[in-house]
Structure 1
């Protein structure tokens, strides 16, 4: 992920991880400076009430049409964005429009993500591994989370002029981050969210400044003319699609100590271009956090040795028997380091 304002585009994080991890590793690790969240009206914790509000949030994400403007803060980076969100029989569709810096748009559908900028168009197929791109991915089965997270109803607040309920999702161990979310009391949509470190300080924050529920959204708004509007023969280009991976059935790689709660949801192998070594890509998720592992034979210097961090994204790289081992995820730095140093290679295991 590049050390620039476009870091905040959450919609492409999952579907373009291979491209982003190379950009991320060019960044110097950042020191995060952020203030504590102001207290809302505190109430006695009630896990059942919190669960009810989370279920309402999931339902709202899958059924409501809305438009709004939000602010996203990640370390020293600040983004203002416009979002248009639509739900129909074909699933969710979203348009994210940057309001500061270079004009960019992200169109997210059920099986693809497209990034649009003047003279540029990048398409990322999303069929391999999908997650809700904005603003928080929570599984329908909340029971999947309860072994590793605790739900608490914290009280009430007011966001974007609307009454909100405040919910805490607290990790039961140090392997993952915590979350605090503000849900619209009437509809259940997320009005504000914060990703918290182990001490409860915010790493990333998102807050709506206005939001309107719509009976429907005109599909034509998702067909942006942006690339054609500003394109010229010198600047117009369409980046090639990332390679499509093939499922791996036999692998030489083993992770000896994977933190509890993380399950493998993807294991592919792909070659970025002819003449390059293949890359093995594994994705692990606990329902909220996602971790990617990249394994690639080296021909030269490793891309990363040691740790790197940008906002919530932590990375750790090491070399094992001539292979670059790279672990990237929206988890604490200690988690990616633990996984990277637990990876071993057994060539015999790769044979059918």
Structure 2
């Protein structure tokens, strides 16, 4: 009887601990999203993408609900990138060329985590995966594990005191690292200045893109029939592209972490067909009558192919 009592107690303790681990992981992610929004902080961050490593100075200023992110490259090509909400300005120092991207949805340079993690419980598991030091700071390791093979595994290292992200990694289904964002030093400040994007002599060389407002997706020339569980339509736009007057339909899909873009434009014989892969990004292109369809995103190849093959023309 005594042995049975202790066995039941042990199993009950394990069940409670497992629930606490999942709850703590979600709490840590929620605290992180809040800290990223309200704190002033700066540091040096390394971006590993497409097999290339780039180190940049990072600044985040926040005051009364207003945020600004800024990146300064430390190596060629020298450039400054500023994000104010959904507007991203990039100035190339050597050529004085500037690009202003008006995005319908603002995205952090570091990592985006949905506000409501409960909605993602059907497609992701959130778990504490241990503790490690990053940039000489102790951090919780949060594993974001998909429940299917339509999306990548992610891990986020969250600093224990301020709950800022110190490292973000994206893995393919075999466990190979595809992308990383890692701070080599990070400092929280009482305040940081907001910087205005000053183009100087580059005013005439400023290129504005994505200036159109989001439109209703039922205006798209196509219909998406195949969507992996959890993916939803975020916004749709129709705009000219490739320096021409030919319109391109663009539909953005997301499951909260992974984003997929669907493009449809007039068919061009020079356009590539089939699957293309660059780092974590996969794309799949095919023709539908006189249209060229491309599905692209930071998801496995299976996902873009699955979505593309289910797209039909709207009648």
TM-score normalized by the length of structure 1: 0.79
How far apart are residue 242 of structure 1 and its match?
Answer: 3.9
CA deviation profile, 1:205-260 (whole Å, cap 9, x unmatched): 111110100111122xx2355x43xx589xx7222434515614444412221111
Aligned pairs for 1:1-352 within 5 A: 46-118=21-93, 119-126=96-103, 128-130=104-106, 132-219=107-194, 222-223=195-196, 225=198, 227-228=199-200, 237-245=205-213, 247-248=215-216, 249-272=218-241, 276-298=245-267, 300-347=268-315
CA deviation profile, 1:284-343 (whole Å, cap 9, x unmatched): 111111111011122x31522011121211111110011000111111111111111111
Over residues 86-111 of structure 1, what are the superposed CA-to-partner deviations in whole Å (9 max), with x where a residue is unaligned?
A: 12224221110111222111100113
Structure 1 SS opposite 2:209 = coil
Aligned residues of 1:304 and 1:326 also touching (Cα < 8 A)? no
- 1:279 aligned counterpart, secondary structure: strand
Which ranges in structure 2 are unaligned for 5 or more consecutive residues?
A: 1-16
RMSD: 2.2
Q: Which position in structure 2 is the counterpart of 1:24?
A: none
2-structure distance, mates of 1:153, 1:242: 39
Greater relative contact order (CA < 8 Å, ≥ 6 in sequence): 1
- Inter-CA distance 197–92: structure 2 relative to 1 (3 Å threshold): same
1:44–1:64 distance in 2 versus 1, CA, 3 Å = same
- TM superposition shift of 1:175: 0.4
Q: List gaps (5 residues or longer) in structure 1.
A: 1-42, 348-352
Q: Residues 133, 200 of structure 1: CA spacing in aligned structure 2 closer, same or farther, 3 A cutoff?
A: same
CA 100–274 in structure 1, closer or farther in 2 if over 3 Å, else same: closer
Distance 1:245 1:277 in 2: 18
Q: Secondary structure at the match of 1:247?
A: coil
- Which has the larger share of strand? 2
| Aligned equivalents of 1:160, 1:346: Cα separation in 2 | 52
Task: From the superposition, tell whether residues 252 and 108 of structure 1 become closer, same or farther in structure 2 (CA, over 3 Å).
Answer: closer
With the length of structure 2 as denominator, give the TM-score of the two structures.
0.87
Whether the 8 Å contact between 1:44 and 1:154 is mirrored in structure 2 is no
- SS of 1:49's equivalent? helix
Asked if structure 1 preserves the Cα contact closer than 8 Å seen for 2:38 and 2:65, the reply is no
